Structure 1
Amino acid sequence: MVQFVLTDGELQREQQKLADAYTDELFNFPNSETVSFPYSRLLVDVERFSDDEQEPMSRVGMGRFYMKTSGGQQLRRTLTSVET
């Protein structure tokens, strides 16, 4: 099942809005350690609290898993967990 409800163009524009562009260049300091996550925050935002009750941005649909776009429209279908 496709989880995102945006068109490909809308999804690409949202990705561009939320990308941390040029972070590597802005914070490239000698002897500094780099921490990176190779996936878009539209899949999962690893900088958010894992408990959405603690994450203020979850109130607007942008917790650990973004459910809303930066403009407040629906981003993805409701996620459900499957227990094994």
Structure 2
Amino acid sequence: MFFTGRKGFYNYHDEDLYVSVKDDQGNWSVPESISENINSEKNEGTCSVSGDGRTIIYTYCHEREGYGSCDLYISYKEGAKWTKPENLGPE
């Protein structure tokens, strides 16, 4: 399961993406940060992950070079790591 989490109640601009995996007994793992390549000190928000779990598109808001207050970024999983995110552009 992929989801967005905020570090503390007042850290509005510090949301990150996390992942938790369900084991064979139905127990969820402790959530882990998805990737240093994706998460930052700013706001990574809503995400959509491909069916095979190897492509993620997510929102990034505030202070990264972009086209609006929030932009869409894409990253691909290569082996166990996510690639450097790419801005999907203004259209």
TM-score, normalised to structure 1, is 0.23
* Larger strand share, 1 or 2: 2
Bigger relative contact order, structure 1 or 2 (CA pairs below 8 A, ≥6 apart) = 1
More helix by share: 1
